[in-house]
Structure 1
Amino acid sequence: MVYDVVVIGGGQAGLAMGYYLRKTHLSFMILDSNESVGDAWRKRYDSLVLFTPRLYSSLPGLALDGDPSGFPTKNEIADYLERYAKTFNLPIQVKCKVTKVRKENNEYHIVTNDSKIKSKKVIIATGPFHTPRIPSFAKDLPKNVVQLHSSEYKNPSQLNRGSVLVVGGGNSGAQIAVELSDSHDTYLSIGHKIRFLPLSIGKKSFFWWCEKIGLLKANGDSFIGKKFKDKPDPIFGFELKERIKNNEVQLKTRTKSIKENVIQFEDLSTLKVQNVIWATGFNKDYSWIDIPNLFDGNGNIKHNRGITENTGLYFLGLPWQHRRGSALLLGVGDDAEYLAHHIESN
């Protein structure tokens, strides 16, 4: 069988794509490497809570259960995604790792861990988070220091007693630092000034206000989009700010090097710790896509709203693919709908 469309990735982007493909006459299949739908969320650290309220944490066609103004846990999202797939009877093949995509005679050949699949069109919906980004000097830490990437961190029981350095200033690093400050002397290394934003203003979610001023719908080329696109993500909520104020989390500048068990920072201060959490993000890995002319000079995917120069090849769930929320639950549905219309008419 040759499918009309194969979607690679069964997370929020792939499921949203499936929802809109269900509305077409096209045959399609969603492939995901996890054991079950939602596992990408289940595997994250135990205490993870989204900073978007439930009202802004749903995919098209199915609202997330619970208080719309409350904040869902990662397990809620995992269970929601599983329910989403069942509600719309989406054809998903789990435990299916794609190892190669190539094009032959106007058909895409998809090689997986146990099969070969053919399709007229392919949508890459694997998201932007592929392989943990850890600085090369991490190898210079002695073996008795516990070091984990944030994707490996689950809870404080994994760590040695003593102090911990969290490296990275995103919301994951902030949440982990706050949690660890209850049990460890905690330091947070950040290479930029932290911007804190409230979770709510008055009795309305911060994202309600963003919707009102047009930020949620602003594309990357708009005036308001350009103002936000290249800035580091803000930290939502004031828990970390309070911990810093009370000296429960101590700020350090950018981590620059490690010699034996001494960590040196950009301001030339040094520190010895018993644990390091690398909340340093992820690198993209598209090495399995054997398609020419895919990247620009900076290594970014060449596309227009997810449509590439290679006929029949699409991307979904990229940061700022079109708007601020393109890689988030609250925004990926708009991009999926756009691609579904384009695919059906071409």
Structure 2
Amino acid sequence: MTRQTDVVVIGGGQAGLAAGYHLRRQGVDFVILDAQTTPGGAWQHAWDSLHLFSPAAYSSLPGRPMPVQVGEVYPGAGHVVEYLAAYEQRYHLPVVRPVRARGVHRDGAFLRVESDSGTWRAQAVISATGTWWRPFLPAVPGRADFAGRQLHTVEYRSPAHFAGQRVVVVGGGNSGAQIAADLACNTELTWVTQRPPRFLADDIDGRALFDVATARRRALESGQTDTGGVASLGDIVAVPPVRAARDAGLLKAQPMFTRLTPDGVEWADGTRAEAHAVIWCTGFRPALSHLAPLGLRGPRGHIPTLGTRSVAEPRLHLLGYGDWTGSASATLIGVGHPAREAAQQSAALVR
């Protein structure tokens, strides 16, 4: 069965919902295809202790402020899921789930979206599938030889599953620091990072980061010198649990090991550490396999874009994958501006 609409949005997480909000305001017909069975996007799969970097007022999608979570300055992942579900209902967004997009194809004047639940033809497609579904694992020697448990950030849930064990956490970003802090008190923790961890100042949270990212976007748009954005400040936001573990001396990073052994890890000088588990907090790659039929991939796997619009296929917009598809577009508060841009340009193709 083939259905037709003006715009298809692929992905029903925060970026897809922000796109839906702006498409509704543009007055076009659209559908949001979500591979998940329930609302909430990737947030519903996060580890138990995960909290936002920002208070609720600075973590909102366009049009609807996030309510304060009682007893919390920084809302937890479960609160975000509830907010996204309510947002979807408030704006009567046409989300169809579970629908997994298999491929986007050119079809004359249309783009054709093939899925496991049928086919949609549209004049524009907004891809908003994010990165959570494509975890990155580095090619470290000996990884296949390690006899313990290996898991990525996406599989981690709670320190209770590792109580009393020797655990190696790999990664010097926010996920690595937060999961290391989560495990610091009831495991024998080894935290390893590619370079010495860079903690942001304790008074910097998502509010300041959004202001910095916005200033960078405006500077670039006006042809001024690149300010460096958030990356110029550091890699790790010192949220309260991270700050507490750091100040207690529990977050002492070791340099990256050179290989895994059957019972642990080994550094270049021959030093070894035994481990029951290795948790790879090593980031993600854009989940873009559904766009492969269009043949748009450029260097480093990215699709070249002008703003959110694909350079080679102007009927396609990419939203929420990182700064290359809009400054701070992978954040709740930051996705609104590029979502408006994608919706306006998509609607212009329909009129």
1:255 aligns to 2:257 (yes or no): yes
Give the whole-Å Cα distance in 1 for the aligned partners of 2:245 and 2:163. 21
Matching residue within 196, 202, 216 for 2:214: 216
**Alpha carbon RMSD of aligned pairs, Å?**
2.5
Q: Which residue of 1 aligns with 2:114?
A: 111
Residues 25-75 of structure 1: per-residue CA shift (max 9 Å, x gap)? 211000010011104211110111111221211000001111699201000
- More helix per residue: 2
1:86 aligns to 2:94 (yes or no): no
Q: Which residue of 1 aligns with 2:187?
A: 184
Q: Which residue of 1 aligns with 2:175?
A: 172
Give the whole-Å Cα distance in 2 for the aligned partners of 1:217 and 1:193. 27
Give the counterpart letter for 2:143 in structure 1. Answer: A
1:140 aligns to 2:145 (yes or no): yes
Give the counterpart letter for 2:59 in structure 1. Answer: S
Give the whole-Å Cα distance in 2 for the aligned partners of 1:195 and 1:322. 25
Q: Which residue of 1 aligns with 2:335?
A: 332
Q: Which residue of 2 aligns with 1:6?
A: 8
Residues 287-306 of structure 1: per-residue CA shift (max 9 Å, x gap)? 33244451223321110111
Change (3 A) 1:232 1:124: farther
Residues 118-175 of structure 1: per-residue CA shift (max 9 Å, x gap)? 1111110111333221234432211xx2222111111123236321111111111111
Q: How does 1:63-78 map to 2 (within 5 A)?
A: 63-66=65-68, 70-78=73-81
Change (3 A) 1:54 1:5: same
Change (3 A) 1:266 1:131: farther
Q: CA deviation at 1:100?
A: 1.3
Which deviates further from its counterpart, 128-137 or 92-101? 128-137
Which deviates further from its counterpart, 46-55 or 286-295? 286-295
TM-score (normalizing by structure 1): 0.89
**Contact 2:177–2:236 under 8 Å retained in 1:** no
**Contact 1:171–1:234 under 8 Å retained in 2:** yes
Give the whole-Å Cα distance in 2 for the aligned partners of 1:106 and 1:268. 61
Change (3 A) 1:76 1:242: closer
Give structure 1 stretches of 5+ with no counterpart. Answer: none
Q: CA deviation at 1:230?
A: 7.9
Q: CA deviation at 1:275?
A: 1.7
Give the whole-Å Cα distance in 1 for the aligned partners of 2:251 and 2:320. 33
Q: CA deviation at 1:237?
A: 3.3
1:62 aligns to 2:70 (yes or no): no
Matching residue within 109, 115, 124 for 1:121: 124
**Contact 2:53–2:237 under 8 Å retained in 1:** no
Q: Which residue of 2 aligns with 1:295?
A: 297
Quote the sequence identity (%): 29
Q: Which residue of 1 aligns with 2:38?
A: 36
Give the whole-Å Cα distance in 1 for the aligned partners of 2:207 and 2:292. 42
Give structure 2 stretches of 5+ with no counterpart. Answer: none
Give the counterpart letter for 1:106 in structure 2. Answer: A
Change (3 A) 1:314 1:42: same
Change (3 A) 1:211 1:313: closer
Change (3 A) 1:207 1:282: closer
Change (3 A) 1:305 1:230: farther
Q: CA deviation at 1:279?
A: 0.9
Q: CA deviation at 1:344?
A: 2.2
Give the counterpart letter for 1:65 in structure 2. Answer: P
Matching residue within 144, 153, 158 for 1:155: 158
Change (3 A) 1:114 1:258: same
TM-score (normalizing by structure 2): 0.88
Residues 219-252 of structure 1: per-residue CA shift (max 9 Å, x gap)? 2845344354588633333644553454434421
Residues 181-220 of structure 1: per-residue CA shift (max 9 Å, x gap)? 121111111011212124536xxxx4444566x5434228
Give the whole-Å Cα distance in 1 for the aligned partners of 2:229 and 2:62. 28
Change (3 A) 1:146 1:183: same
The secondary structure found in structure 2 opposite 1:288 is helix
Give the whole-Å Cα distance in 1 for the aligned partners of 2:80 and 2:237. 20
Which deviates further from its counterpart, 220-229 or 17-26? 220-229
Which deviates further from its counterpart, 156-165 or 217-226? 217-226
Q: CA deviation at 1:319?
A: 0.8
**Contact 1:170–1:233 under 8 Å retained in 2:** yes
Change (3 A) 1:28 1:223: same
